[in-house]
Structure 1
Amino acid sequence: MTTIRMVGFDADDTLWRSEDYFAAAQSTFESIVGAYVGDDARTTERLYAIEKANLAVFGYGVKGMALSMVEAAIEITESRISSSDLQRIVQMAKEMLRHPVDLLPGVREAVEQVAADYPVVLVTKGDLFHQEAKVRDSGLSHLFRRIEIVSEKDVPTYRRLLEEFAIPPEGFVMVGNSLRSDIAPVLELGGWGVHVPYHLTWEHERQADIPADAARRLRSLTHADELPGALRAIAAG
């Protein structure tokens, strides 16, 4: 048997929609820049390279994306992009920051059921103000014993959190859509992961190495309503 001491939840694309808005913004960006350079300028590839390089400076989230888009637009068009088109990119980011929180199907009921059986925490990364607003507007904040908005979700971050929670890794289960950020670091520490894939995943979050000896502590689900049963199966060993 496994004694589950705490269950952690990711936020974006695990509890509510997020990547849909980023994907739409990227499509609009490519349309704006494409008017200057055509379709063969490797716009998607070059934007991602700039976003990835800027993560250590801007972090994750809409604001970092917008700054990277402005930089990429200037670079790709060789400074030919107009100020009005740069303003369109900035305005697009503002609209993303105002998007309503749209919970995924079955999420509210699943989190409520899990919170009735275990202490639950929210562990998410991104812009502090935006993430705080989304958590507040989700209507779920009262269910979480603690809400952690971190700059990165990696082994050192999860190790620090588990030490602060006074929870051994083997008693912690992390639920999320990203193998790279939500699952792999927790498995490496000796915890459990429940992967609930989303239909869209940012390229940066797609790759993750799961060692064979850790795979036994990974569960994959299709829908949020399967989560309570998955946790019961983990606890039963």
Structure 2
Amino acid sequence: MKLLLVEDDDHVSAALSAVLRRHGFDVGTARGGEEALQELLHGRLAPFDVVLLDLGLPDQDGFEVCGRIRKLTSTPVIMVTARADVRSRIHGLNLGADDYVVKPYDTGELLARIHAVARRTSAEAEPDGRSPADTYESLRLGPLTLQIPTRRVLVNGEEVALTRKEFDLLALLAHRPGVVFRREQIISEVWRTSWEGTGRTLEVHVASLRSKLRMPELIETVRGVGYRLVAPPPAV
């Protein structure tokens, strides 16, 4: 697996690169955002499978780099950073990051997350592979409309931009409003993995949906079980 490590601390980069290579990764490195973008451009003939992106880069903020990467390629991006606040997690995922790992981290966990996002991307690239949302008809719940074929979401007729996983999560819950989906079921169907570490990512995506749709009561947390969508009243 070919991996691009974007990290400006030479000691951290050297140590992590050595670990990754011992586990069979072909590792390329970049010390800043512009260098990372050039590596991705030049690697198109043999593209990278995953990007590990530090946020504290010397030439530009990692969030900006992630946004530019996402315009350039669909290569999975894992943000690896000391910024542990939920707002930063949500912002990173909204920009298109596939996962978010907070320093200091366990190396085994990081390796598991790398393999997890690579597996998900590989499954989604299969010719007949479909996301959970693709199996549903278009849905309308009060002021909320999901146009499944075009993957668009509208609230009171105004489009709301969602990430791929946010849309899949919302579509899964909206297909059966009022029904409680277990966390394990959601993670299996939306993230296509059974790894428990995805649970935190699920929480962040739920928080992001509540914020973007401006309907915090739409997705209800069922403590100890999972989540359900509470059908909103009809639009006035």
TM range (shorter): 0.3 to 0.5
Question: Which structure features the higher share of helix residues?
Answer: 1
Question: Which structure features the higher share of strand residues?
Answer: 2
- When normalised by structure 2's length, the TM-score is 0.35
Asked which structure has the greater RCO (Cα within 8 Å, sep 6+), the reply is: 1
- When normalised by structure 1's length, the TM-score is 0.35
